[in-house]
Amino acid sequence: MKYCIIVPDGMADTPVEALAGRTPLEAAATPNMDRLAMDGRMGLVRLVPEGYPPGSDVANLSLVGYDPRAYYCGRAPLEAAAMGIRLGPGQIAFRANLVTVADGRMRDYSAGAISTTEARVLVEALNGALETDAVRFYPGVSYRHLLIYSGPEPIDLVTTPPHDILDEPVAGHMPVGRGQEIVRRTMSASREVLAAHEINRVRVDLGENPATQVWLWGEGPAPNMPTFQERYGLTGAAITAVDLIRGIATIAGWDIINVPGATGFFDTDYAAKGLHAVTALQGHDLAYVHIEAPDEAGHHGDLQAKIKAIEAVDRDIVGPVRDALRQYGAYRLLVLPDHPTPLAIRTHTSDPVPFAMSGRHVPVGRGRPLTEANAEATHFVVDPGHTLMDLFLEKA
């Protein structure tokens, strides 16, 4: 028996006027997802519990079968696990985005999708100027980095993801709570370090957004979760370009499949991800394929990029994986986003997302393609979302 879950991050959306009231998913050519829905079961799943932030951390924990109400510890600790950083007692991990703040407003949560090579140099500069016994930066991928706090002062903050405040004044969204002075001081000091850096001068000359500062958010202590094999008795492999998903997979005890050309952005190699997913199924019970591009398109408000990403996922990943699974005979395939990222607001929502599932013992579908509206019309809603894994694995 083989299982595969394909997650086009942020794929779900709301009707778009430029598409005559259709969503990007409705407008995209997705014959493989549509066949999956028409042959199998379609519905909605609420992956973000009420009262929790609608981030990929919460949503993917649910999707992997872990109840966020029991296991959620913040986004950054999950990313720390992906980077091999073991948090000790009292240590707190923060996500440290390289961002562009201009005229007091959050202009770009990714500093122009800064390259990993440039970003690593900037993070080294930040450590050179700001590292102490209590504060140290760790470089990640593109704009996504970490800060580990090891100081004596307790941290209990309310922080804001930068992608939630695009074009808004940052003054009203600074960290608030115990330890806020340390965090705010670090964010402020980063501006001085980065303002004079040659990489930013070159980026400005080229018309690219500079990394004007770090933005700290998503903080938390070390997670404490059982492995996926302990919970379900199955092995797993994850294919992703995003440290968050790598972190969840690491804690779950899955193998991480590194795919050349996987970038976590529009230019990711979709076909390579599909090929590696097919290969991963040979040695694992379950493959989890995460694609960040639709979410990035939503954050950028780029309609055509979102449609193109959805179509690439369908053509280069869902299609090949579905063909490979059918050769095994006994299989199940699940396709769904983790949360909506509507183009109209350029950030996440906690609304339920559509899913399509087919394979062994899955009820025959209603003959409708995979869309938000068609999923809602089934009146089949999985809530709480972490129970979808039990349904998928026939444990429910």
| pLDDT score of 190 more than 90 | yes
**pLDDT above 80 (res 39):** yes
Q: Concatenated DSSP letters for 24-35?
A: HHHHS--HHHHH
Percent of the chain at pLDDT exceeding 70: 100
Residue 282 CB contacts under 8 Å (≥ 6 apart), including other chains: none
Report the amino acid identity of residue 246.
Answer: R
Categorize the per-residue pLDDT at 113 as very low, low, confident or very high, splitting at 50, 70 and 90: very high
Q: Is the pLDDT assigned to residue 265 strictly greater than 90? A: no
Angle value at C-alpha 237, between 235 and 243, nearest 5 degrees:
135
pLDDT at 365 > cutoff 80: no
Average pLDDT, the chain: 96
- pLDDT band for position 193 (cuts 50, 70, 90): very high
Q: What is the pLDDT of residue 141?
A: 86
Q: What's CA 115's distance to the chain center, in Å?
A: 18
Helix (H) or strand (E) holding 116: helix 116-130
What is the per-residue pLDDT across 335-364, written as a single tens digit (0 to 9) for each?
A: 999 999 999 999 999 999 999 999 999 988
Confidence of residue 367 (pLDDT cuts 50, 70, 90): confident
Per residue in 47-85, pLDDT tens?
999 999 899 999 999 999 999 999 999 999 999 998 999
* Interval 147-184: pLDDT, tens: 999 999 999 999 999 999 999 999 999 999 999 999 99
Report pLDDT for 48.
97
**For residue 166, how many other CB atoms are within 10 A of its CB?**
17
Domain boundaries, the chain: 2-72+224-392, 92-220
Q: What is the pLDDT of residue 64?
A: 97
Average pLDDT over every residue of 188-203: 96
Contact 388, 382 (CB under 8 A): yes
Mean pLDDT, rounded, for 126-131: 97
pTM, full prediction: 0.86
CA distance 281 to 236: 9
Residue 218 DSSP label? E
What's the whole-number mean pLDDT along residues 224-249? 95
- Residue found by looking up tokens 């999956």 in the block: 36
Q: What 3-state class would DSSP assign to 355?
A: strand
Q: Indicate if the pLDDT at residue 99 is higher than 90.
A: yes
pLDDT at 369: 97
With tokens 């639709």, the residue in question is 294
* The pLDDT value given to residue 364: 83
Count Cα atoms within 13 angstroms, Cβ side, for 214.
33
352 cis-preceded (ω within 30 degrees of 0): no
Residues 6+ apart with CB under 8 A from 226: none
pLDDT of residue 329: 84
Segment 308-325 mean pLDDT: 97
pLDDT over 80 (residue 35) = yes
Given CATH 3.30.1330.10, say whether it is the number of domain 2-72+224-392.
no
Q: How far apart are the first and last CA of the chain?
A: 17
Q: In this predicted model, which residue has the larger pLDDT, 110 or 263?
A: 110
